[in-house]
Structure 1
Amino acid sequence: MSLPSSLSHRERALLALAALLSVAAVFGPAVPTPALGSAPFADGRPWGALPNAMDVLSNLPFAVVGIWGLRWLHWLGRAHDAQQDAEPLPFDALDCAWMFFAGLILTALGSAFYHLQPDPTRLAADRAGMAVAFAGLVGVAVCERVSARAGWPAAWVALAGGLLAAAICHRSGNALPWALVQFGGLALVLALALARPVPGAIGLRLGRVVFFYALAKLFELADPAILEATQQLVSGHSLKHLTAALAALPVLHALQAMGRQTLRHNSGAAPLTA
């Protein structure tokens, strides 16, 4: 077999990590899903007929950034097509970015649906949307720091793993596969943030993505404490949604920088209206 010898060291390490997480998910001990309880989040205040209003409405930034990113990707493709003798775009990374921003919209919908009336079925829908966004992010990160050819397969493997983990957690109550997807994927992105970008990288600041995501998790853990500290103004869980949406901005910024570079090399490109 000549395939293994054609893989780079980083690609081999990526395959090894995927295999390790898969083995841990299959053979690891079952971790029970914490019971939702009657009040799973600190802020259950309604706004008119809208229950849990802040935790529902704080998902809007996911949709805003997702739509904004998809518009930029659409414009970038049109600007490239209008340019004669244009340099090839990093289509592998851009395909993963399409998945990422579409996943943000699905995350907004799934999370809002869940927080309207938290229950296990709605939680599974919430996690399914998150799995799409997370898979796209993993794909972009792999394109940036491992290789372009590995990004799209990595995104689809992460997507399949995330959706399967969410289904297992819902059907059996075993939260281990979902924890491995979430925290194993975060560890992968953190490790890639410490690696040098590969040639053709779009310039994504992965360290900023990790920072905002980690900050969002801290807000989540301090949900009731933050609500009390802010005198019932905002809860930690609502801040979690807002901060997690900020983690998408470095991806958007990298696309905008690419778009400005496209304009500089093509004065006849479509106007920047995204």
Structure 2
Amino acid sequence: MQLSSPSRRERGLFFAFLLLSGVAVLGPALTGVHAGASLFADDRAWHHLPNAMDVLSNLPFLAVGLWGLRWLGRFHRRAAHGLPASTLACAWLFFAGFLACTAGSVFYHLQPDLLRLAADRAGMTIAFAGLIGFAVCERVSHRAGPVAACATLVGGLLAVAVWHETGNVAPWAVVQFGGMALVVSLALAKPMRGAVDLKLGWVIFFYALAKGFELGDHAIYEATHHLVSGHSLKHLTAALAGLPVLHALQTFGRQSLRHNPGAAALTA
């Protein structure tokens, strides 16, 4: 079967990835950015658990990831859903990435060092790739979504490797901030026909709020009289970014069931 020519949105997406890749490879190096336990405001232990709040605040990632994967499993098995396979695959990758985020972040915050930070960022890359792929399925085309997810996953992991080996964090910054700029531009585009209608604005809101908490780590810790740090709030808020994705899928599933009375019932 002959593939159709790339659409205008697909061409725009291709050039956006090409531009970001060029900036990551040819842009100036950004070094001297390191991480350790001393960088975080709250280093209190709880019983024998070091950096307890920064570790335990990752549990919402685990909860949302398991919730999403459980729902996707039931949705896939029982419903006459009509959801494109590409969108479904990106959703699986996104929620699996939440579990990877949990593992990587807990591993890192137990004893922060550069090697463990690489594992933390690798976990983030998986979730980020799923989000990019899902958004592209929604706003560009179903065939472009998995390609965008794979490109983000490979590019993100390479950026983490480059940073770990050379200390140059610029490629990772391009993946993180350039990727979110892409999500913002996709949020402004009209959804494709048959889209799940993910409210990308809510995902962007939670991401921006999480970054704000991260930047205000010490200030928030002092303002709350050492009750909670900005970094712990960052974890809690970032996990909320999975809820708009889950809500969109559940809404689509309920609409599908109304049009397919013979399908098995789904529960949220």
TM-score band by shorter chain is over 0.9
Q: 1 CA distance for matches of 2:231 and 2:246?
A: 24
Q: CA deviation at 1:262?
A: 2.8
Partner in structure 2 of residue 258 of structure 1: 252
Q: For the residues of structure 2 that align with 1:33 and 1:214, how far apart are their CA atoms?
A: 24
Q: Quick check: 1:79–1:262 contact (8 Å CA) kept in 2?
A: no
Aligned length: 267
Q: Does residue 245 of the first structure (1) align with residue 235 of the second (2)?
A: no
Deviation of 1:268 after TM superposition, in Å, equals 3.8
Alignment of 1:92-103 (within 5 A): 92-103=86-97
Corresponding residue for residue 216 of structure 2: 222
Among 81, 100, 104, which residue is 1:110 paired with?
104
In the aligned structure 1, how far is the partner of 2:73 from the partner of 2:143?
Answer: 22
Structure 1 gaps of 5+ residues are none
Which residue in the other structure is 2:117 paired with?
A: 123
Which residue is 1:32 aligned to?
31
1:143-162 → structure 2 map (5 Å cutoff): 143-162=137-156
TM-score using structure 1 length: 0.94
Q: TM-score, normalised by structure 2?
A: 0.96
Structure 1 residues 121-155: Cα deviation after superposition (integer angstroms, max 9, x where no partner): 00000000000000000000001111111001000
Stretches of 4+ aligned residues off by more than 6 angstroms: none
Query: Alpha-carbon deviation of 1:211?
Result: 0.5
C-alpha RMSD of matched pairs (Å): 1.5
Unpaired stretches in structure 2, ≥5 consecutive residues: none
Decide whether the 8 Å contact of 1:78 with 1:270 is kept in 2.
Answer: no
1:220, 1:240 within 8 Å by CA — same for their partners in 2?
yes
**Residues of 2 paired with 1:214 and 1:191: CA distance?**
15
The separation in 2 between residues aligned to 1:134 and 1:37, in whole angstroms, is 24
User: Counterparts in 2 of 1:7-156, with a 5 A limit?
Assistant: 7-37=6-36, 39-80=38-79, 83=80, 88-156=82-150
* AA in 2 matched with 1:66: G
Q: Is the 8 A contact 1:132 1:159 kept in 2?
A: yes
Q: Secondary structure at the match of 2:143?
A: helix
- CA positional deviation for 1:273: 4.4
Deviations 1:66-108 (A, max 9, x none): 110111111111222xx4xxx6322111100000000000001
- Aligned AA for 2:112? P
Q: Deviations for 1:165-214, whole angstroms, at most 9, x for unmatched residues?
A: 01110111000000000000000001111111011110100011001000
